[in-house]
Amino acid sequence: MALKIVFAGTPDFAVPSLRAAMRHGDVVAVYTQPDRPAGRGRGLQASPVKLEAVAAGIPVLQPETLRDQAARDALRALQPDLMVVVAYGQILPQKILDIPRLGCWNVHASLLPRWRGAAPIQRAIEAGDRETGVCLMQMEKGLDTGPVLLSQKLAIGDDETGGELHDRLAELGAQTLSDGLELLLAGVRPVPQPQPEDGVSYAHKLEKHEAKLDWSQPATVLANKVRAFHPWPIAEAEVAGERVRIHAAEALPSMQRAVPGTLLAASRDGIDIACGEGMLRIHDLQREGGKPITATDYVNARRGLQQAVSMPRP
């Protein structure tokens, strides 16, 4: 007899896990966020999970809340064995968690208890973490506090962006979920391991204002922000009097003592900006209203930029 699964998810990150759930059980319904205005025309746009479910012929439910009796009755009528939740976008109340026979599983993109919360992928890069991973967690009322059923680790690449790590963790999350479902199908329930009390950190939601770089910070901090905030919200800063968005950069040591924000060099190698410690070499950037370009093209487009380079202090 097939495992009856209800899946709850919304963004691209959840799509591989939805596919894994479909391979290992009977997904009787998919919950996702209501269609939201998007794009220049602000027309209603379906979530990636909804599009995947519709293509597979799975019924889709999009309640504004799961906190009322109607929502509980609708879920109970499905008689699910298990609810799988991946970046759904709503907190599930205890009365919802109690309905599936086997409870609710969550795929979370960090090694819990580090980076509980909304933006674990970006916060790991921003903090300079060398390692992250995925946890399959038995959900409880707290925010990402439930016991861990399975986990897998993943090294973060030196130049890896938030978008690149997102894609790798989405696939790793689907694989971890598959491992857990295969155990269930074999008659083995993964053993819940309580999260340790030490090492708890919270990955707060990304805000657009965070993308503004402060040149007084160390270059390593700024380079991590550039990676973490790509593809959204994209780091931005002032370079020789012009506001630009920075798509790729690296932190380098510098022997020059200059005021943070000073233009130190502008060449085909990159655009070097003095920081609180070291310097940030910008490789790809974007002018107002333009497309991302290389530092070489930027230098060629801004005549006189090289003449604006500040000489080192004696």
Instruction: Report pLDDT digits (tens) over 243-280.
Output: 999 999 999 999 888 999 999 999 889 999 999 999 99
Would you say residue 221 has pLDDT above 70?
yes
Mean pLDDT on 47-75: 96
Q: What is the tens place of the pLDDT at every residue in 99-153? A: 999 999 999 999 999 999 999 999 999 999 999 999 999 999 889 999 999 999 9
The percentage of the chain sitting over the pLDDT mark of 90, rounded to a whole number, equals: 89
Would you say residue 22 has pLDDT above 90?
yes
The percentage of the chain sitting over the pLDDT mark of 70, rounded to a whole number, equals: 98
Helix (H) or strand (E) holding 85: strand 82-86
Mean pLDDT on 290-302: 94
d(CA 17, CA 11): 11
DSSP characters over 251-305: EE-------TT-EEEEETTEEEEE-SBSEEEEEEEE-TTS-EEEHHHHHHHSTTT
DSSP single-letter state for residue 206: P
Break the chain into its structural domains and give their ranges: 4-203, 208-308
Q: What is the mean pLDDT of the chain?
A: 95
Would you say residue 61 has pLDDT above 90?
yes
Torsion of CA 247, 252, 256, 258, to 10 degrees: 40
Give the residue ranges of the annotated binding site: 110-113
Res. 313 pLDDT band, cuts 50 70 90: very low
> Which has more pLDDT, 240 or 281?
281
Would you say residue 305 has pLDDT above 90?
no
pLDDT for 99: 98
pLDDT for 38: 79
Mean pLDDT on 292-307: 88
We find that the CATH architecture of domain 4-203 is 3-Layer(aba) Sandwich (3.40)
Q: Domain 208-308 falls in which CATH fold? A: Methionyl-tRNA Fmet Formyltransferase; Chain A, domain 2 (3.10.25)
Contact 202, 120 (CB under 8 A): no
Nearest alpha-carbon partner for 225 in 200, 207, 243: 207
Would you say residue 184 has pLDDT above 70?
yes
Task: State the alpha helices, DSSP H only, in 85-236.
Answer: 94-97, 120-126, 162-185, 219-228
Mean pLDDT on 47-74: 96
d(CA 32, CA 48): 9
Give the residue ranges of the annotated binding site for (6S)-5,6,7,8-tetrahydrofolate: 110-113
pLDDT for 310: 58
Contact 234, 211 (CB under 8 A): yes
Would you say residue 212 has pLDDT above 70?
yes
Mean pLDDT on 17-46: 92
Contact 170, 184 (CB under 8 A): no
How far, in Å, are 37, 64, 74, 216 from residue 42 at the CA level?
Answer: 5, 19, 30, 38
pLDDT for 47: 97
pLDDT for 303: 79
Helix (H) or strand (E) holding 60: strand 60-61
pLDDT for 42: 77
Q: Which long-range contacts (CB under 8 A, 24 or more apart) does 220-224 make?
A: 220/128, 220/251, 220/277, 220/278, 222/249, 222/251, 222/275, 222/280, 223/249, 223/250, 223/251, 223/280, 224/125, 224/126, 224/127, 224/128
How far, in Å, are 92, 252, 284, 309 from residue 293 at the CA level?
Answer: 43, 21, 6, 20
> Which has more pLDDT, 141 or 200?
200
